[in-house]
């Protein structure tokens, strides 16, 4: 039996979970694996990483990125124990100017997602677009004429749902899932009202911020949605939006391979 070609791995450390994307030749995604991010103060789940690497092997190169609040050193050390020297995100090597104060405070997850959008559509280099990540937080990152010019950060939809009524009204039943067809305004029950205020409210907030940014910069944006909840919220937008849940990883694999 012929030996398999080694895979590249792009590894994101998020607030609630870690996501590993294994890449084959070109831009083909071999598989996507996830596990919970350990809470602050808890040790790295070595067994979870072993399982991650055992399912897709051999791995030749690893790239690690993390949200701004989470250090990458413990994760990098765990890969090194397994003979893999990871490539870490560097703001200094980022290909676009970052107009943020200070630039290094913008999370690599946001910057790599912008790079992933440009990787998909190179024509965007000369235009304006926004990447909206509906994950643990709802973030927007704006790219305008070759530069990252800032954006917004808000509590994520799941976090907001968990705050109202301690999450019991909507999240208490694990069998329930958020369905776009069932979220509308006005809500006809307490549960529907909470979903209208949090889910639909988050979408309308993003649309309002997009309008403000377009007004300020004098140009209409193209919009990319990413993050775990992007398939749920996409039908609620009043404008066309691209959607790619792996934008960050598309930017990461470009950096890892030096492309």
* CATH number of this structure's domain 7-88: 3.30.420.40
Structure token digits, residue 198: 């949090």
- At 140 the pLDDT is 97
- Cα–Cα dist 163/184, whole Å: 20
Structure token digits, residue 180: 């776009």
Structure token digits, residue 253: 């694999």
Topology at the third CATH level for domain 91-252? Nucleotidyltransferase; domain 5 (3.30.420)
- Cα–Cα dist 131/76, whole Å: 27
- Cα–Cα dist 204/3, whole Å: 51
Full pLDDT tens readout for the chain, 259 residues:
445 678 899 999 988 888 999 998 878 899 998 888 888 777 777 888 888 888 787 898 999 998 877 888 888 999 999 999 999 999 999 999 999 999 999 999 999 999 999 999 999 888 899 999 999 899 999 999 899 999 999 999 988 887 776 555 555 454 455 665 567 778 778 888 888 888 899 999 999 999 999 999 999 999 999 998 999 899 999 999 999 999 999 999 999 998 7
- Cα–Cα dist 31/51, whole Å: 13
**Closest C-alpha to 157, from 141, 138, 171, 175:** 138
In our burial notation (b when 16+ CB lie closer than 10 A, e otherwise), range 12-26 reads: bbbeeebbbbbbeee
- For the annotated catalytic residues, the residue numbers are 109
φ/ψ region of 151 (left if φ > 0, alpha if ψ in -120 to 50, else beta) reads: left
- At 62 the pLDDT is 95
Domain definitions of the chain by residue range: 7-88, 91-252
- At 159 the pLDDT is 84
- Cα–Cα dist 211/174, whole Å: 36
Structure token digits, residue 248: 């960050």
CATH fold match for the domains 7-88 and 91-252: yes
DSSP string, 42-86: SPP-HHHHHHHHHHS--EEEEEEEE-TTS-SHHHHHHHHHTT---
């Amino acid at each position: 039996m012929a030996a398999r070609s080694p895979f590249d791995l792009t590894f994101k450390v998020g607030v609630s979970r870690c996501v590993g994307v294994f890449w084959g030749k070109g831009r083909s995604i071999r598989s996507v694996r996830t596990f919970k991010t350990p809470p602050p103060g808890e040790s790295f789940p070595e067994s979870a990483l072993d399982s991650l690497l055992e399912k897709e092997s051999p791995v030749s190169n690893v790239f690690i990125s993390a949200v701004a609040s989470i250090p990458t050193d413990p994760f990098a050390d765990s890969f090194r124990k397994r003979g893999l020297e990871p490539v870490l995100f560097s703001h200094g090597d980022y290909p676009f100017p970052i107009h943020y104060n200070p630039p290094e405070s913008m999370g690599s997850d946001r910057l790599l997602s912008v790079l992933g959008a440009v990787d998909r559509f190179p024509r965007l280099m000369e235009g304006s677009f926004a990447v909206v990540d509906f994950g643990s937080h709802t973030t927007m990152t704006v790219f305008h004429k070759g530069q990252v010019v800032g954006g917004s950060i808000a509590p994520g939809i799941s976090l907001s749902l968990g705050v109202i009524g301690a999450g019991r009204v909507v999240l208490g039943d694990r069998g329930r899932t958020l369905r776009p067809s069932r979220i509308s305004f006005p809500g006809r029950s307490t549960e529907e009202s909470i979903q209208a205020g949090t889910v639909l409210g988050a979408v309308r907030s993003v649309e309002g911020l997009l309008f403000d940014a377009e007004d300020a910069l004098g140009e209409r944006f193209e919009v990319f949605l990413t993050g775990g909840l992007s398939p749920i919220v996409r039908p609620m937008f009043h404008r066309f939006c691209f959607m790619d849940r792996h934008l960050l990883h598309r930017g990461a694999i470009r950096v890892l391979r030096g492309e």
